[in-house]
Chain A
Amino acid sequence: MREMIKMVVVLVVLSSLSGGLLGALKNTTEERIDNQVLKFVKGPAIENILKGADNDPVADRFSLTVGEKENNFFVGVFDGTPKAVAFEAFAGGYGGDLGVMVAVNVKTDEIMGISVTTHNETPGIGATVETDSDFKNQFIGKSAAAAYKVKDDGGDITAMSGATVTSRAVCTAVRRAGDIYEKAKSQIKDQVNNFTG
């Protein structure tokens, strides 16, 4: 009986010490890890569309809850004034969710660029969305609130050849990004305008 109790006590004490230590470590490293994940996973996409920003958009971010989801917004400072936000929206592609990072100019409500963050499209067909800048450049300079569609669906976006499903998914994701932007416009503008590096 005594041995039994000792075993239980030893295991309980050891596990709780271990749990406590790891919990504390997790708390202290959490912020750094979030930054690292964003830098390596979303960083390249953000850099791509906020090219020439004076700040580090990954570090200068804020989050807002739009609808039910919490979204990260990355602020881009150009010529000394913060004027752009980049954020991510998703749509179902040919092979699962496709994530698109959209940068919007908050002064003009125009799209400054889009970039694909995550996708699982067919290599060589849909996956060319990663590099196909002609396709993605079609969105630049247009209103964030416009209803983007490919030409087949009555819109004015030329689909990538052979990859209509992927092109459609990108349009849907950009439309959703537009929805997020419209819904939270005033909050986003407040945050960006009050942003101090």
Chain B
Amino acid sequence: MAKTIGQEFVKGLWEEIPPFRLVLGLCPTLAVTKSVENGIGMGVATTFVLVCANMLVSILSGVIPSRIRIACFIIIIATFVTVVELIMQAYAYQLFLNLGIFIPLIVVNCIVLGRSEAFASKNKLVPSLADGLGIGIGFTLSLTVISAVRESLGTGKLMGAQVFPTSFEPFAFMVEAPGAFICLGLLLCIMNLIGKK
């Protein structure tokens, strides 16, 4: 278990990248990845919550009695999620409208609670920070990849710019809910193929 800070950070980018390796946090993954903009917005919001919650949990882990730790983690996480929600409303209202209910739902994102419980409560501040940042960036990358595939195939555009010739007939199916499952499954399959070598 004696990993360096660098390893704690890097593991979130491939070895334990959510939602592919840690198959957690599927609800926002499937729901908001209709466009790259939403995917990145969601990833950044989650990363912020993850890093802050990890840091605070690791600082307070000595004080929090183990029997009520989950309740305490939820208070900490919910606080940061509300912070994100308010800031997003004030400075990025359009994104807030797009992500809608999925912002408050970060509270129950298993990735965040999972990292608090499995990692931050047992580790010191700096490794927890590295872990949160790594997993968060990994999550953001995954969402970006999924949403890039879905948006380009589903609408023929990427961030509003045409990527396929206009003769390309978009698979509108990809931006619907079932398309999210299929896209996630295929990407997971590709990752497993690469990982096997």
Contacts and interface: CB of A to CB of B under 8 A. Distances in A.
Nearest to B72: A14
B67 A14 contact: no
B76 A36 contact: no
A39 B93 contact: yes
B71 A33 contact: no
Contact of A36 (B63, B64, B79, B89): B89
B38 to A, nearest CB: 16
Contacts of B71: 11
B93 to A, nearest CB: 4
A3 B65 contact: yes
A32 interface: yes
A34 to B, nearest CB: 10
B42 to A, nearest CB: 19
Secondary structure of the B side of the interface? helix
A125 interface: no
Which of under 10, 10 to 19, 20 to 34, or 35 or more describes the interface residues of A? 10 to 19
A18 B89 contact: no
Given A7-B67, A11-B72, A22 B82 contact: yes
Interface in B72-121: 72, 75-76, 78-79, 82-83, 86-87, 89-91, 93-94, 97
Interface of B: 63-65, 67-68, 71-72, 75-76, 78-79, 82-83, 86-87, 89-91, 93-94, 97
> Which are the 10 A-B pairs with shortest beta-carbon distances?
A36-B93, A32-B90, A18-B79, A29-B90, A33-B89, A29-B86, A7-B65, A7-B68, A33-B90, A14-B75
15 contacts: A6-B65, A7-B67, A7-B68, A10-B68, A11-B68, A11-B75, A14-B75, A18-B75, A29-B89, A29-B90, A33-B90, A37-B89, A37-B93, A40-B94, A40-B97
